[in-house]
Amino acid sequence: MGAKQPYTVLAVDDHPLNLKLIEKALSKEGYQIFSADNGPDARSIALEKLPDLILLDIEMPGENGFDVIQKLKEDATTNAIPVIFLTGVSEVDAKLKGFELGAVDYITKPFHPLEVLARVRIHLKLSIATNSLIQDQAAKLRQVTKAQVAMLPLPEENPHARFGVYYKALQEAGGDFYDILNISDNITGYFVADSSGHDIETSYMTASVKALLAQNCTPVYSPAESMKMINDVLVEILTQGKYLTACYMHINRTTLKLTIINAGHPPVVCLPVKGEPFLIKSDGDVLGIFPDAAFGATHMAVSRGDRFFIYSDGLVESAEDKITWATGADSLLPVYSSLRDVSYDQAPMEMISQLFGNNCCPEDDIVLLCVEV
């Protein structure tokens, strides 16, 4: 087995004697010490070496300790490193300011080397425990993510449904999901939903809604009846503040009839075999809040080869650019036109590539289905 890597500490002080005392006290106990006598050098070393802990002097010429910690905390690479202030200032306000900026503790100068060692040990233990907890929670969320993704049907598993899909969860517990309902040999249902929140409860909702869809999306019920029954159950089981926007599209490939039930969701886009793409707008209440919810319903005849795009609002919304799906959906119609000669199973990925480039970095979860009649 290789040698165990030592814990690293960055000591920052403009007095060489203090740096020497810290290095001597900690290095003999097995710590590796990095030193800096000014703020810019300290930040550079922190970014390059990523020490386990920083001992930071407040009073330094030029960039003082308050400036340094503020910049460290603003940088995602260094903001989790625990910082202990070294201060000769006795005023409470100065100490409080240090804590407000993110320091975990302070040591008053002149300091005793054993006190420095004790406080370093304490805060490294706390940091180790916190990081372990974070890693444990992240591992559990990754398991949730895998389970959630495993419940999503794939095009190759449902060739008769004639669809392509792009799915990306922004966080471990995604709020968007979709399902394909094989109602009969010639009737298929397509469901896309966006849940409020991105926590573990949200991901568990995927399994619950999937079960409700399987129970209620059958030849016995019309699409509107199916959504009403699902809503009635969700009203009973969802906690306060939880809800779903959803779109349920029902295609009968024998009669060539299509029904869309909209529950507060972005409009479906139709790309007909002949003609320009257009939005199918229909207002409706969200799922899971109102017992007497009213959903938007659209019924239309379709032709073989017509395509329909169902998506979540992450495709069109941008908080940074102040674009909502209500205003952003129309602007994408030319993009749908460009997909006419792309196979339906590749169309979602091609659209994402056109909108976001090869390195997709959306601001929210995205589901995009392309369905061909």
Q: Label residue 1 by pLDDT band (50, 70, 90).
A: very low
Report the distance separating Cα 121 and Cα 64, nearest Å: 25
345 shares its domain with 213: yes
- The pTM score is 0.61
Domain boundary among 142, 160, 179: 142
Determine the pLDDT at residue 313. 85
Are both 126 and 213 inside the same structural domain? Answer: no
pLDDT digits (tens, 9 = 90+) for 226-259: 999 999 999 988 877 788 899 999 999 999 999 9
Q: What is the CATH number of the domain that holds 101?
A: 3.40.50.2300
Q: What is the pLDDT of residues 184-207, one digit of tens each?
A: 989 999 999 988 765 555 666 777
- The contacts of residue 324 (CB under 8 Å, 6+ apart) are 313, 317
Residue 114 sits in the same domain as residue 210: no
Per-residue model confidence (pLDDT) at position 201:
59
The answer as to whether 119 is a domain residue is yes
Q: What tens digit of pLDDT does each residue of 278-332 get? A: 999 988 999 999 988 999 999 999 999 999 999 988 887 665 666 666 667 788 8
Please give the average per-residue pLDDT across 356-361, as a whole number: 67
Look up residue 238 and give its two tokens. 């969802």
Same domain, 268 and 189: yes
Percent helix, strand and coil across the chain, each rounded to 5?
Answer: 40, 25, 40
pLDDT of residue 309: 97
Instruction: Tell me, yes or no, whether 340 lies in a domain.
Output: yes
Please indicate, yes or no, if residue 3 is contained in any of the structural domains. Answer: no
Q: Is the pLDDT of residue 99 over 70?
A: yes
* pLDDT tens by residue, 51-67: 999 999 998 988 999 99
Q: In terms of domains, do 163 and 201 share one?
A: yes
- Contact present, 60 and 54 (Cβ < 8 Å): no
| Distance from C-alpha of 144 to C-alpha of 138, rounded to nearest angstrom | 10
Instruction: Look at residues 87, 110, 142 and tell me which one is the last residue of a structural domain.
Output: 142
Q: Using the structure block, give the residue that is written with the tokens 């959903």.
A: 295
* Per-residue model confidence (pLDDT) at position 293: 92
Q: Are residues 337 and 302 in the same domain?
A: yes
Looking at 94, 122, 142, which one is the last position of a domain? 142
Half-sphere exposure at residue 180, Cβ-oriented, CA atoms within 13 angstroms: 20
Domain coverage including residue 315:
151-372
Q: Domain check: are 126 and 185 in the same one?
A: no
